[in-house]
Chains A and B, each alone.
Chain A
């Protein structure tokens, strides 16, 4: 539970940090998303109910900080990020055996892909509201850029969280075995 608590705090800190990190002008103003990396690590490390709780917490924060109510209209319904995080973290949770065998690279790549999927889903939702589905190179970079960044920072975060798990004496669960 200490490790789970630490992950909740880290998600909160990362979400605030995301607001303060400027968009990357050399990557078509793509944003850096740290929270998905932490959530997806949690999805592999935590048991199913706690994984859902973490996904819920991250989804609530993302909804609260990004969803805009403009002119009495909500562009993306509150709860959509919770659903996205829940589904994607659930998929990641299903890949625990690979992680237990020490195959980090698959999860790092998937963290990136899933991060981009979150941004893509947001884009599709706002496009549905605003109309005119357009995919310019800038838009692809806005979608793909955060994923690439998540892949790049993934190994560092995974290593750090693995270390955090060790110092909090977190047991990774008998069904998955200990990560070497």
Chain B
């Protein structure tokens, strides 16, 4: 091995050692710093992705139209494409109106955010949103939609934040059941097989007689999540050796999120 290679290896080892010595706080700062640098690229990339998706869905609808009726004239296709574009706009207007209504009637102070990236790796269920410290967002703030709970913020940089979803194994939420005194802890699965992840509600009593469809809310214990936020509905219940466990379907469709709200406090 040449001297240059040995020197390079030593420098690599020294920097590696420095990184490995990072504690949680330094790691958080390091992550936030990198996110701050990458924020313009992530936001720009998200915009490009939306444009590509929109073009692709437009082409798909044209393909379908061609299959349905091969004799359609070019003019007719153009009109349909325009119509589709207007429908997209209408859909977005409705969605934003819905979100605005929710924000106005909510008892919480909400910061509206757009999802710019999701699931950055295989083992953590996360989202990246376009709001950060500049918008009064901080770590461990609940993230919701008008339907229910989405997760909580973890890493927060100036302009973007990472949201840990309720479907992640590490996101543990104290929960209570509708029409029952039962309480438990909700957490996600390590790996979700299907598109819709399920949640586990653990530490219930064995006598808990849960019915499918029963709603599960945050209980407010723990300090991060305020009480009364809908987490999901009971799908099934089983008795284990020491406790009862229910499987929940999340109230929010976590795989198709576009807009969310960060709860920054109460009004």
- Name the residue of chain A whose CB is nearest to the CB of B126: A68
Q: Are B118 and A79 in contact (CB under 8 A)?
A: no
Residues on the A chain within 8 Å of B257, using CB: none
- The answer to whether the Cβ of A148 comes within 8 Å of any Cβ in the partner chain is no
- The answer to whether the Cβ of A142 comes within 8 Å of any Cβ in the partner chain is yes
Task: State how many angstroms separate the Cβ of B28 from the closest Cβ of chain A.
Answer: 5
Binds B, one of A14-22, A95-103, A163-171: A14-22
In the complex, per-residue mask of B140-166: 1 if CB is within 8 Å of any chain A CB, else 0: 000000000000001100000010100
Given the contacts A49-B4, A78-B30, A66 and B22 also touching, CB distance less than 8 Å? no
Q: Are A75 and B170 in contact (CB under 8 A)?
A: yes
Q: Are B5 and A49 in contact (CB under 8 A)?
A: yes
> Chain A interface: which size bin?
35 or more
In the complex, per-residue mask of B205-218: 1 if CB is within 8 Å of any chain A CB, else 0: 00000000000000
Which residue of A48, A68, A122 contacts B164 across the interface (Cβ within 8 Å)?
A68
Q: Are B9 and A78 in contact (CB under 8 A)?
A: no
In the complex, per-residue mask of B1-27: 1 if CB is within 8 Å of any chain A CB, else 0: 000110111001001111110111011
Q: Are A31 and B41 in contact (CB under 8 A)?
A: no
Given the contacts A19-B42, A68-B164, A82 and B16 also touching, CB distance less than 8 Å? yes
Residues on the A chain within 8 Å of B59, using CB: none
Which residue of A49, A52, A60, A122 contacts B121 across the interface (Cβ within 8 Å)?
A122
> Chain B interface: which size bin?
35 or more
- The answer to whether the Cβ of B70 comes within 8 Å of any Cβ in the partner chain is no
Q: Are B121 and A70 in contact (CB under 8 A)?
A: no
Q: Are A19 and B120 in contact (CB under 8 A)?
A: yes
- The answer to whether the Cβ of A3 comes within 8 Å of any Cβ in the partner chain is no
Which residues of B line the A interface, CB within 8 A?
A: 4-5, 7-9, 12, 15-20, 22-24, 26-28, 30-31, 33-35, 38, 41-42, 45-46, 49, 117-124, 126, 128, 154-155, 162, 164, 169-171, 190-193, 195
Q: Can you name 26 A-B residue pairings with CB atoms under 8 Å?
A: A20-B45, A22-B119, A25-B195, A29-B195, A48-B5, A49-B8, A56-B15, A60-B34, A64-B31, A64-B34, A65-B35, A67-B31, A68-B124, A68-B155, A69-B28, A69-B31, A70-B171, A75-B170, A77-B19, A78-B19, A78-B26, A79-B16, A86-B16, A122-B123, A123-B123, A126-B123
Which residues of A line the B interface, CB within 8 A?
A: 12, 16-20, 22-23, 25, 28-31, 48-49, 52-53, 55-56, 60-61, 63-75, 77-80, 82-83, 86, 119, 122-123, 126, 130, 134, 136, 138-139, 142-143, 146
